[in-house]
């Protein structure tokens, strides 16, 4: 009976002790999450006041959040009675395995730093890379997030972006548009050229420096192809592209300029 009483007392003592440890861990978690959110908010305010570039800001905030979360996990483990020295030794002993498993992520981390230093693109740029195209939403420590034109978010590893081919469509203020328009062989090229140049002159969004270019591009199988090249501000690129297609179609119909269609001539012997 005395032995049972002793075991019962030990269980109660351990339960009370464990209960206080669990309560303490919960308190540390709640307070820690609050402090992390507060630190993130204060850091963001400081970065905003200093006008830090959006790509650098998102990278730093992501790095700070991960670091503080790891510290919070260590504090909770210590409160639960797990020796932090043993915890550190466990992490150290697993370091090689973790390093091998996370080699890709370490490569992505290095890639993120390269992107921030060399700045092939920044938040807000429209890019194409790794088979994806969209507007850069954020540059995080492991991934770059882009929003596609149809409003999907794509997470691209920084390592691949930093070492692969990336096309930045918005890094320069102006872009060149090109159309190739086919007309029938019996059309007068001078007339076609005059109509096209008139359409270009009517559009104030088309820049005159560099000067627009119109030329006979190719004598194709079923058409005479005319090439049109002009420069516009980046923001006007798609609007001018679609508007010019519509205006060329309407103007050619009005002027009686015929569009070609595939033809096959058969000679009978």
Count how many domains the chain has.
3
Evaluate whether 161 touches 130 at the Cβ level (below 8 Å). yes
Q: Residue 237's closest CA among 210, 214, 205, 208?
A: 205
Strand partners, 44: none
Q: Which two tokens stand for residue 201?
A: 């002159």
Q: Tell me the DSSP string of 20-66.
A: HHHHHHHHHHHHHHHHHHHHHHHHHHHHHHTT--HHHHHHHHHHHHH
Residues 212 and 132 in one domain: no
Evaluate whether 121 touches 171 at the Cβ level (below 8 Å). yes
Neighbours of 192 (CB within 10 A): 21
Please list the alpha-helical segments (H only) found in 94-205. 95-101, 103-118, 158-163, 189-202
Evaluate whether 68 touches 34 at the Cβ level (below 8 Å). no
Residues 63 and 141 in one domain: no
Q: What is the radius of gyration, based on Cα positions, of the chain?
A: 33
pLDDT at residue number 84:
60
Helix (H) or strand (E) holding 75: helix 54-79
pLDDT tens figures, 217-250: 999 888 999 999 999 999 999 999 999 999 999 9
Domain presence at residue 25: yes
CATH number at residue 156: 2.30.30.60
pLDDT at residue number 194:
95
pLDDT tens figures, 99-133: 555 556 778 888 888 888 888 998 899 999 999 99
Can you give the residue range of the structural domain that contains 184?
174-255
CATH number at residue 199: 3.30.70.100
Domain presence at residue 269: no
Residues 58 and 27 in one domain: yes
Q: Which two tokens stand for residue 236?
A: 């006007």
Distance from C-alpha of 103 to C-alpha of 231, rounded to nearest angstrom: 45
Evaluate whether 179 touches 252 at the Cβ level (below 8 Å). no
Domain presence at residue 267: no
pLDDT at residue number 103:
59
Could you tell me whether strands 166-168 and 126-129 are parallel, antiparallel, or unpaired per DSSP bridges? antiparallel
Q: What percent of the chain has pLDDT over 90?
A: 42
Residues 43 and 122 in one domain: no
Residues 211 and 240 in one domain: yes
Does the global pTM surpass 0.95? no
Residues 179 and 249 in one domain: yes
Distance from C-alpha of 167 to C-alpha of 128, rounded to nearest angstrom: 5
Domain presence at residue 261: no
Distance from C-alpha of 106 to C-alpha of 225, rounded to nearest angstrom: 52
Q: Tell me the DSSP string of 183-218.
A: E-TTS-HHHHHHHHHHHHHH-TTEESSSPPEEEEEE
pLDDT at residue number 97:
53
Distance from C-alpha of 58 to C-alpha of 66, rounded to nearest angstrom: 12
Q: How many residues does the chain have?
A: 269
Per-residue pLDDT of the chain (269 residues; tens, 9 = 90+): 555 555 545 555 655 566 677 787 888 888 888 888 888 888 888 878 777 777 677 777 877 888 888 888 888 877 777 666 655 565 565 555 555 555 567 788 888 888 888 889 988 999 999 999 999 998 888 889 999 999 999 999 998 888 889 999 999 999 999 999 999 998 999 999 999 999 999 999 999 999 999 999 999 888 999 999 999 999 999 999 999 999 999 999 999 999 887 766 677 66
Residues 157 and 192 in one domain: no
Residues 222 and 193 in one domain: yes
Residues 129 and 162 in one domain: yes
First to last CA, the chain: 121
């Amino acid at each position: 009976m005395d032995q049972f009483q002793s075991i019962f007392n030990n269980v109660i003592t351990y339960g009370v002790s464990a209960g206080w440890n669990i309560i303490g861990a919960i308190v540390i978690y709640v307070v820690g999450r609050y402090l992390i959110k507060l630190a993130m908010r204060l850091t963001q305010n400081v970065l905003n006041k200093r006008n830090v570039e959006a790509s650098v800001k998102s990278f730093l905030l992501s790095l700070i959040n991960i670091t503080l979360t790891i510290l919070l996990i260590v504090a909770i483990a210590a409160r639960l009675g797990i020796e932090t020295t043993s915890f550190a030794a466990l992490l150290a002993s697993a370091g090689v395995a973790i390093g091998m498993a996370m080699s890709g992520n370490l490569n992505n981390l290095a890639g993120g730093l390269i992107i921030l230093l060399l700045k092939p693109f920044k938040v807000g740029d429209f890019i194409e890379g790794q088979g994806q195209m969209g507007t850069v939403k954020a540059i995080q420590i492991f991934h770059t997030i882009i929003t596609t034109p149809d409003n999907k978010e794509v997470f691209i590893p920084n390592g691949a972006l930093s070492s692969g081919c990336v096309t930045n469509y918005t890094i320069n203020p102006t872009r060149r548009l090109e159309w190739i328009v086919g007309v029938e062989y019996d059309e007068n090229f001078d007339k076609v050229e005059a109509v096209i140049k008139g359409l270009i002159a009517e559009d104030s969004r088309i820049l005159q420096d560099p000067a627009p270019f119109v030329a006979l591009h190719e004598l194709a199988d079923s058409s005479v192809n005319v090439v049109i090249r002009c420069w516009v501000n980046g923001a006007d690129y798609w609007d001018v592209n679609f508007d010019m297609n519509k205006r060329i179609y309407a103007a050619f119909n009005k002027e009686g300029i015929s569009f070609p269609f595939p033809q096959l001539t058969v000679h009978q012997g």
